[in-house]
Chain A
């Protein structure tokens, strides 16, 4: 089944999300759609999956124009979407989730779960999507949940599968498995659309690439010949540097010392297991590791968000093991949380309100009970300009910013005051290439100004590019330490998999 989008334009009020977009999706092919956050990728795919009606243009299936009145029409036409945020019922089994809404029923509307389980196994076997139909969704890893989403779409006999940022939540190993699945679906004759802003992924898996910028198709690329630099330039509209420019710098005096730290996770299991490390002024310490190996709990303990059960944290010679979040903040520790939308900012608050979210009590912004909003707004306007947060007004809601600009807002807030230590978790997750470059520059600038930095990331490139020293965490322990100049990807990868332990 081939699909053609012809002259698609979609407007939201004065905002043109898609402008005269033409593209073709063919069966037996993986089509990569590349673009920064806010480039219009999701709008375009929502048009294709029937959620939005285009203002202009038409959709042709095998040459015949079609009109989708809703998502149901698109599904019946064989177009299925695997969303970035999974739409699964956590307490249901795999099979129950797959058949939800189109359940096989027997006599007297009896729910035929036996057939459902068989069908799930069949589809799984056919495409290499191995899952246990009886597993409960909330108990299986994210990679498996994604497989269930794919099976769900295949169960509804989709011939066109759209993947919206499918790798954002996966570990490197799961990404590899996922690529295998995508390739086998292509070989089975399905048409696949792969939406992402990660360049190397699209180069690895796509057969054909189109780049979307500002709602328009600005270029096409052949994955065999295109380079990351080419694609990035098309995507951002200017040349982008992938290497972090960083002058060598001798670290200063000791800043943070952690000894034998022990922290429990929410299930009361040991998540951080006797970790000792230190950070000195003017150095970037990278903490690498596959998601879920204790990095989150370590950061929460360091920022006063999670109690410790053993060991000690010393900051500038003072014991801060039991210090509160506010106290640590006042001592000059800044925190860029890993989940910015949940923990880093308040989407219903204005940009200005978010800018002072953790410093509103400061003398600069308030006296006693009274907030000085005029000062807050002026200061925010200054910081927003300095940190290149793209917005038209400081009164805009943070929720209206693109992901990259939200992250820049959080980074700007944390770096725009006098700090001694920066703890940045996944500082560029879900952020577009242009913003990544900028955020990296700011982190290095902070380090050059004598700030100690801890960067926690699951992206090896980011860790290697930024860090002066790299620690690898595996099952709650620091299992390896590397000088970033000499560490290879292979060494780090092995350590992350636990081989060095």
Chain B
């Protein structure tokens, strides 16, 4: 036994964090950045191959840049596009951390959107400070309930969440289609599938109308910032987050430590669904004002890529969401200014995901950037 003084001295040394080793920094920052660079480079090759001249390529990427961060309006558009991607991406990242591959964000998102619309037009004569939170809450709850079904199926029967969430997506799609074509959701007097409009008291207020009334960025981005902070807190500062991460990193050890895996799975899925549902609510209450088929713009699927790109870390997901938002906003500008199809943006997004999923590919393509070599 060492005397107390000596013990204290040794202990305080142990409490120092090791300097983050360089290899990890490369993995966390360099690989994502280079993935984007490589994707843009290959995007240029694709444009060349499809007969776009060098000048137009330069013009396209310039438009991509100015359309995403080149003006107040561009930044507003980027933020507007980034919000749902980040919210749903956070949910998917939470699932990844707990070892769950939740493909169902799309279904959770559209059902969340419908629920938010329903509350948004149904509660008349309600002050905004009650109406808006209720509409958001409805969106989150609908998403949570839908995702919890997949969680419960896995916990109770072992059914794989990839299969069940894909199936639940299809069901949600048809369900939303049905709801949009029938009262009470459908707008009276319309034959096409479209919902009633959200009342102003449930709308997410636009933030920059004092600069220019056309700026679309709305209070949803505050929701995003809050969600990033909350998910970070949940994952790394709470007992539940500890359980989530333990169950994801080593389910056997989690079970041996007395954690209840079934409950964890349902909780994680419900939380992920709530975030996806919020993403849907964010779209209908902040941007669209109503719901129609395809109102999500596939954000629930793009969010999977956002979560991957963000390395399942809340801050990473925020950055990835902003990047994808920028690509979407810039892509529209690119189409208008340079006449290059917005499909190119899908190609670039897909390439980013490929490189992120296979970091070795990035290392092998540009090995001189890395200190540590492949396979050694």
- Chain A residues within 8 Å of B, Cβ to Cβ: 53, 303-305, 324-326, 328-329, 335, 337, 342-349, 353, 356-358, 360-361, 366, 368-371, 373, 377-378, 380-382, 384-386, 391-396
Find the residue from A348, A384, A385 having the highest chain B CB count within 10 A: A385
Inter-chain contact A337/B256, CB cutoff 8 Å: yes
Inter-chain contact A342/B239, CB cutoff 8 Å: no
Inter-chain contact A346/B246, CB cutoff 8 Å: yes
Inter-chain contact B10/A385, CB cutoff 8 Å: yes
Complex Cα spacing A303 to B238, Å: 26
Given A357-B257, A378-B11, A381-B12, 11 extra CB contacts under 8 A: A343-B252, A345-B250, A349-B246, A360-B239, A369-B238, A370-B239, A371-B239, A377-B15, A382-B7, A382-B11, A391-B14
Complex Cα spacing A324 to B241, Å: 21
Which residues of A sit under 8 angstroms from B245, Cβ to Cβ?
349
Inter-chain contact A384/B14, CB cutoff 8 Å: yes
Closest A residue to B21 by beta carbon equals A13
Complex Cα spacing A378 to B15, Å: 7
Closest A residue to B234 by beta carbon equals A369
Inter-chain contact A335/B10, CB cutoff 8 Å: no
Is residue B369 within 8 Å, beta carbon to beta carbon, of the partner chain?
Answer: no
Inter-chain contact B18/A373, CB cutoff 8 Å: no
Which residues of A sit under 8 angstroms from B259, Cβ to Cβ?
326
Is residue B190 within 8 Å, beta carbon to beta carbon, of the partner chain?
Answer: no
Complex Cα spacing A371 to B17, Å: 19
Inter-chain contact A393/B15, CB cutoff 8 Å: yes
Find the residue from B241, B255, B256 having the highest chain A CB count within 10 A: B256
1/0 per residue, CB under 8 A from A, across B1-38: the answer is 01000010011111111100000000000000000000
Which residues of B sit under 8 angstroms from A392, Cβ to Cβ?
13-14, 18
Which residues of A sit under 8 angstroms from B249, Cβ to Cβ?
346-349
Is residue B242 within 8 Å, beta carbon to beta carbon, of the partner chain?
Answer: yes
Interface residues of B in 241-284 (CB under 8 A from A): 241-242, 245-246, 249-250, 252-260
Inter-chain contact B7/A324, CB cutoff 8 Å: no
Complex Cα spacing A353 to B12, Å: 17
Inter-chain contact B258/A346, CB cutoff 8 Å: no
- Nearest-neighbour CB distance to chain B for A356, whole angstroms, equals 8
Is residue B237 within 8 Å, beta carbon to beta carbon, of the partner chain?
Answer: yes
Assuming the contacts A305-B255, A349-B246, A393-B17, asked whether A371 and B237 have C-beta atoms less than 8 A apart, the reply is yes
Assuming the contacts A360-B239, A378-B15, A393-B14, asked whether A347 and B258 have C-beta atoms less than 8 A apart, the reply is no
Complex Cα spacing A345 to B257, Å: 9
Which residues of A sit under 8 angstroms from B174, Cβ to Cβ?
none
Complex Cα spacing A303 to B256, Å: 8
- Chain B residues within 8 Å of A, Cβ to Cβ: 2, 7, 10-18, 237-242, 245-246, 249-250, 252-260, 376
Inter-chain contact A361/B239, CB cutoff 8 Å: yes
Closest B residue to A382 by beta carbon equals B11
Find the residue from B12, B241, B245, B250 having the highest chain A CB count within 10 A: B250
Closest B residue to A365 by beta carbon equals B239
Inter-chain contact B15/A366, CB cutoff 8 Å: no
Q: What are 27 A-B interface contacts by the 8 Å CB criterion?
A: A53-B376, A303-B256, A326-B259, A342-B250, A342-B252, A343-B255, A345-B250, A346-B249, A348-B250, A349-B249, A358-B258, A361-B239, A366-B239, A369-B238, A369-B239, A370-B239, A371-B239, A371-B241, A373-B237, A377-B15, A381-B12, A385-B7, A385-B14, A392-B14, A393-B14, A394-B15, A395-B18
- Nearest-neighbour CB distance to chain B for A49, whole angstroms, equals 15
Closest B residue to A359 by beta carbon equals B257
Inter-chain contact B252/A381, CB cutoff 8 Å: no
Complex Cα spacing A392 to B10, Å: 10
Complex Cα spacing A208 to B14, Å: 41
Contact of B253 among A304, A356, A357 (CB under 8 A): A357
- Nearest-neighbour CB distance to chain A for B147, whole angstroms, equals 21
Which residues of B sit under 8 angstroms from A385, Cβ to Cβ?
2, 7, 10-11, 14
Which residues of B sit under 8 angstroms from A304, Cβ to Cβ?
258
- Nearest-neighbour CB distance to chain A for B256, whole angstroms, equals 4
Complex Cα spacing A270 to B139, Å: 50
Which residues of A sit under 8 angstroms from B246, Cβ to Cβ?
346, 349, 357
Which residues of A sit under 8 angstroms from B255, Cβ to Cβ?
305, 325, 343
Closest B residue to A13 by beta carbon equals B21
Inter-chain contact A381/B15, CB cutoff 8 Å: yes
Which residues of A sit under 8 angstroms from B12, Cβ to Cβ?
381
Complex Cα spacing A392 to B19, Å: 12
Inter-chain contact B240/A369, CB cutoff 8 Å: yes
Which residues of B sit under 8 angstroms from A394, Cβ to Cβ?
14-15
Inter-chain contact B242/A360, CB cutoff 8 Å: yes
Closest B residue to A340 by beta carbon equals B253
5 smallest beta-carbon distances between A and B, as pairs: A326-B258, A381-B11, A358-B257, A325-B258, A381-B14
Inter-chain contact A342/B258, CB cutoff 8 Å: no
Complex Cα spacing A332 to B254, Å: 18
Inter-chain contact B18/A396, CB cutoff 8 Å: yes
Closest B residue to A325 by beta carbon equals B258
Inter-chain contact B237/A324, CB cutoff 8 Å: no
Complex Cα spacing A454 to B228, Å: 47
- Nearest-neighbour CB distance to chain A for B180, whole angstroms, equals 39
Which residues of A sit under 8 angstroms from B11, Cβ to Cβ?
378, 381-382, 385
Complex Cα spacing A337 to B253, Å: 9
- Nearest-neighbour CB distance to chain A for B106, whole angstroms, equals 29
Inter-chain contact A353/B258, CB cutoff 8 Å: no
Complex Cα spacing A311 to B201, Å: 64
Find the residue from B239, B252, B254 having the highest chain A CB count within 10 A: B239
- Nearest-neighbour CB distance to chain A for B258, whole angstroms, equals 4
Which residues of A sit under 8 angstroms from B241, Cβ to Cβ?
371
Which residues of B sit under 8 angstroms from A371, Cβ to Cβ?
237-239, 241-242
Which residues of A sit under 8 angstroms from B2, Cβ to Cβ?
385
Contact of A343 among B7, B238, B240, B253 (CB under 8 A): B253
Complex Cα spacing A391 to B196, Å: 63
Assuming the contacts A305-B255, A366-B239, A394-B15, asked whether A346 and B250 have C-beta atoms less than 8 A apart, the reply is yes
Closest A residue to B12 by beta carbon equals A381
- Nearest-neighbour CB distance to chain A for B371, whole angstroms, equals 10
Closest A residue to B243 by beta carbon equals A360
Complex Cα spacing A348 to B253, Å: 12
Contact of A393 among B16, B239, B256, B257 (CB under 8 A): B16
Closest A residue to B17 by beta carbon equals A395
Which residues of B sit under 8 angstroms from A303, Cβ to Cβ?
256
Closest A residue to B237 by beta carbon equals A371
Complex Cα spacing A342 to B251, Å: 9
Closest B residue to A304 by beta carbon equals B258
Inter-chain contact A344/B14, CB cutoff 8 Å: no
Which residues of A sit under 8 angstroms from B260, Cβ to Cβ?
324, 326
Closest A residue to B257 by beta carbon equals A358
